[in-house]
Chain A
Amino acid sequence: MTTVLAMTHAGYVAAGWIATVGILGGYAFATIRKGRRLSRVVPPEERRWT
């Protein structure tokens, strides 16, 4: 943590990394949640991966 705080341009570096992890993580969460909701509607035999 001290290494990160001692950086030059720490705010920009943090913003770029947080945006990347946040956007990809948020998209993954939304996709998985949508998949779970839809899986309850569709019979298991039509879910080829199960």
Chain B
Amino acid sequence: MTTTPTETTPPAPPASSTSSPLTRVLGTLAGVGVVLVAWLGLVASPRDIVQKDSVRLIYVHVPAVTWMYVAVFLCAFASFMWLRKRTDGWDVLAASAAELAALLTGLGLITGMVWGRPTWGVYWVWDARLTSTAILFVLLLGYQALRRYPADPQSRSRMAAVLGLLLVPNAAIVHFSVDWWRGLHQDATVSKIDVSIEGLMLFTLAASFVVMGIVCAWLLVHRFRVGWLERRAERHHLDAALADRQADADPSAGVAVGGPSS
């Protein structure tokens, strides 16, 4: 008697992670992209005449801040959609985007301070752009605290959605602060790209935008799935607790389950 391989090979167990073919492709592209941008930004691209090599920080600072805006707007959009639809998906997306926005804002502040020291001579100055970014960062940290506050899930989501919508005017203030108030920070880099930037510098900046976007998309998908799993795990935990309580309250159910047959 012979057996075919399909009979003897057990079915592959489902992946016990947040990975999927999509995230594997994104993750591979992100890994390759980070290496490429690191080579372009640290080795291949030329130094600036005025800022010298400190200009190489532009390839991490500007993409982080730009994608921070996208994450904030995604959080606000998902918050708005949750207020309309009240579905788990929009709520989890808003929470995931806000977490990513907080991460990118922190990263923007750190890289900005590190860049400011050789450029301006100080790590920090109470400039309009820096101050408004710090306020946005505090708001995003507050959002994270609100998400972890032990309260009724519906009211917690509602408060988080309102705060998520309020992030948009703050992000707008951050963006336009360099136009509205005079300060140390330069004008917007993205909307007013200096055409005098040397070809390879411009290409490296564009590549760093794309790679940071891929990294952010990859992180967002994983974070969304983690949020989704948290909701499901909470429900399973609640269901199990309810079943236990029902079994305690109704001893006959326990006899039936334990039963004469066992």
Contact = CB atoms under 8 A, between A and B. Distances in A.
Interface of A: 3-4, 7-10, 12-13, 15-17, 19-21, 23-24, 27-28, 31-32, 34-36, 38-44, 46-47, 49-50
A49 B229 contact: no
B118 A9 contact: yes
A4 B117 contact: no
Contacts of B248: none
B52 A16 contact: no
Interface string B203-226: 000000000000100110011011
B226 A16 contact: no
Contact of A17 (B60, B103, B226, B229): B60
B162 interface: no
A13 B53 contact: yes
Interface string B41-82: 111000100001110110011001000000000000000000
A10 B226 contact: no
B53 A8 contact: yes
Interface in B201-258: 215, 218-219, 222-223, 225-226, 229-230, 232-233, 236
A29 B207 CA distance: 24
A21 B52 contact: no
A47 B14 contact: yes
Interface of B: 14-20, 22, 34, 38, 41-43, 47, 52-54, 56-57, 60-61, 64, 103, 106-107, 110-111, 114-115, 117-118, 215, 218-219, 222-223, 225-226, 229-230, 232-233, 236
Contacts of A40: 16
Given A10-B53, A16-B115, A42-B229, A36 B42 contact: no
B222 A32 contact: yes
A25 B223 CA distance: 13
Nearest to B27: A28
B233 A12 contact: no
A12 B115 contact: yes
B14 A24 contact: no
A23 B64 CA distance: 12
B38 A17 contact: yes
Given A8-B52, A20-B64, A41-B236, A15 B223 contact: no
A43 B222 CA distance: 18
